[in-house]
Every structure is written in C-alpha cells, then in structure tokens.
Amino acid sequence: DVIKLDRSLISELSSDTASRIIARSIIAMLKDLDYTVLAEGVEDERTVTALTEYGCDQAQGFFYSKALPETELDEWLEWKLRGQC
C-alpha cells in the first residue's frame, strides 16, 4: 500500500509554487487514506526538505545515489549502514 509520486511532479518542487501546492495536497490526501507515500526523482536538498514538511514517507533519486549495478549497490548499502551506527 505504497503510492509513488512521479518525478514529473517532484522535479519542479523547489522552484514552482503550483507544484508545491499540488504535491502537498496529494501527500495530505494519501496520508489521510493511510497510504505510504514515496516520491521519485528527488535531486536536491530543498526538495527533500519540502517533502519531509509535507509528510512524505520515502524518497528516491539522484540526491541519494545514482542507479547502481547490484555489486555496487551492496557496497553502497554496507557503507550507508556503517555510517548510520
């Protein structure tokens, strides 16, 4: 029960008022319906901050990492987990 917000909505979040209003409204509606909200296409810290303020649960995109082959993904995950401890 996860709803993914398309990158086309997220990509303009830091620079477009209409995108912010739409994203905030959609996230609020989905949270009221008890969905987990995942935003894709997150590329900068301002977008992360806005999504967090709006109550978005999860995010993915180049802000966190580029797409990785499986072996590099395993190394990246180990590195991230070591950094969290």
- Is pLDDT at 56 greater than 90 in this prediction? yes
pLDDT at 80: 82
Average pLDDT over residues 1-6: 94
| 59, 38 Cβ separation under 8 angstroms | yes
* Domain span including residue 45: 2-84
- Is pLDDT at 77 greater than 90 in this prediction? no
Query: pTM of the entire structure?
Result: 0.81
Q: How far apart are CA 36 and CA 22, in angstroms?
A: 17
